Amino acid sequence: MHATTSHPVSTVEEKSPVPTLGYPGVAAGPLPAEKVADIIGMIDGIALRTRSLAHAAAEAAHAGEQGRGFALMAAEVKSLAQRSAAAVREIKGLIGDSVHKAGQADEERRRELEERAKRWQRSLTV
């Protein structure tokens, strides 16, 4: 028995919300890190190719008639820029989803903690 309550200490500890709180959703990970790493790798590759193409296109533009391939270079640079923008949107979406899910999990944990604390308080007054 505890000195200030009529309940044994072990009963109070068993009813305490703190030791049993879990973190729902955390096991799956708030953000698919492997997916983000893949996307970042793709963006790095796009950036490298875009820089190379931009330099080549600039040189071709100076070549005059011999630089007709500039149009092909420009089309490829445009395509790479579009892919890069799509990858950035995907990363933003993943991060946004992760933040949203984390917020929901935090709110769920807060409500669960409040409910367990109320039950624990009620058990102390019984």
> How many whole angstroms separate alpha carbon 91 and alpha carbon 104?
20
User: 18 or 124, which is more confident?
Assistant: 124
What are φ and ψ of residue 62, in 5° steps? Answer: -80, -15
Q: pTM value? A: 0.50
Arithmetic mean of pLDDT, 47-53: 79
Please name which of 4, 20, 1, 3 lies closest in space to residue 120, comparing C-alpha atoms: 20
119 confidence band (pLDDT: 50, 70, 90): very high
Query: Any idea where the domains of the chain sit in the sequence?
Result: 33-119
Non-local CB neighbours of 41 within 8 Å, separated by 6+ positions:
none
Q: Higher confidence at residue 118 or residue 29?
A: 118
